[in-house]
Chain A
Amino acid sequence: MQIDAELIERARNGDSGAFNQIVLHYRRRILGTIARLTGRPEDAEDIAQEVFLRLYFSLDQLRVPQVFEAWLYRLTVNAAYDYLRRRRRRGEARMADLSPEQVALADAAAGARASQEEQRRRRAREDAEAVLSALPEADRILLSLKEIEGLSLGELAGVYKVNENALKVRLYRARQRALRALEALEGQRGGSADSLRGSHAG
């Protein structure tokens, strides 16, 4: 739900109370979006604070309060993109990068503790992470915003400042890459591919 233009105007004029209200209104949604865009809920708070920090210092550039949400999402996308690029540069090892044997060992160790539902969720998260991390950062973010966050083409056009046709082409390419990554993952899993297919069939 969009907050009213008057609150944004007050925040723009330096009213810290109004800015606080804006942060309180959006922070949980932004935290969730960042957690899913980056696949790291544990780092989401730090990145979300970066988003609101950038918002605080860029509010005076916002000319039309009606585009506030698109503006906030753009800041979120940029911060998530920066984070993903930093992480790729550092070359951090993730569950998705491990061999099937290592994943199976990790599964066995964690399986003893986690419930069946938790295990299923964790598995879905790992599989999705494996697919998404195989994409370039820009594709990952665009596909996530559309398919996971559920933003419409119109909303995405506002965030990216491009027309819907250009977005459709970019989305199509991102999806094709994701499909190839999923096929590769299923091929890599070999024996466990049936379970992967069974558990994610929409």
Chain B
Amino acid sequence: MPGNSDERNNRPIDGRLDGLLKEYRGAIPDPEPSALFMPRLWERIEKQQSVTLGLSRLAPLYATAAAVLCLVLGVALLALRPATSVAAERSYVEALADDESGEAPEYARVVLVEGQGER
């Protein structure tokens, strides 16, 4: 069963692992922070803040630039749109009326042919 310390300490290898990890704790005591710990930390905080601040200042600029770009692209697309063809200007009903292909579906013709054969 995981975490059963009584069981695990019965084996010699478990005892050796526990002893090793205990010694490791003693071999690396809590180090003393250097005198520069706090100044360096604040230096890093201020550096990070200036980056964040810079980005937040630039954010409206980027948003404006993106909006302008969208507008320009939109205008450009409208201006470059190809001249509309006659077919595109017709309504659906007009296009249907002009269609010369047969109205009867294919299966109706097949039934008709089969009926003639029986007779």
Q: Footprint of B on A, CB under 8 Å?
A: 20, 23-24, 27-29, 31-32, 35-36, 39, 41, 44-45, 48-49, 52-53, 56-57, 121-122, 124-125, 127-129, 131-132, 143-144, 147-149, 153, 168-169, 171-173, 175, 178-179, 182-183, 196-197, 199-202
Contacts and interface: CB of A to CB of B under 8 A. Distances in A.
Contacts of B12: 197, 201
B31 A147 contact: no
Chain B interface size, under 10 / 10 to 19 / 20 to 34 / 35 or more: 20 to 34
Given A122-B27, A124-B23, A125-B24, A131 B41 contact: no
Contacts of A173: 2
Counting from the closest, the 5 A-B pairs by CB-CB distance are A172-B2, A32-B30, A202-B19, A128-B24, A124-B23
Interface in B1-58: 2-3, 8, 12-34, 37-38, 40-41, 44-45, 48
A172 B3 contact: yes
Interface of B is mostly: helix
Given A27-B33, A179-B13, A202-B18, A41 B48 contact: no
A41 B33 CA distance: 11
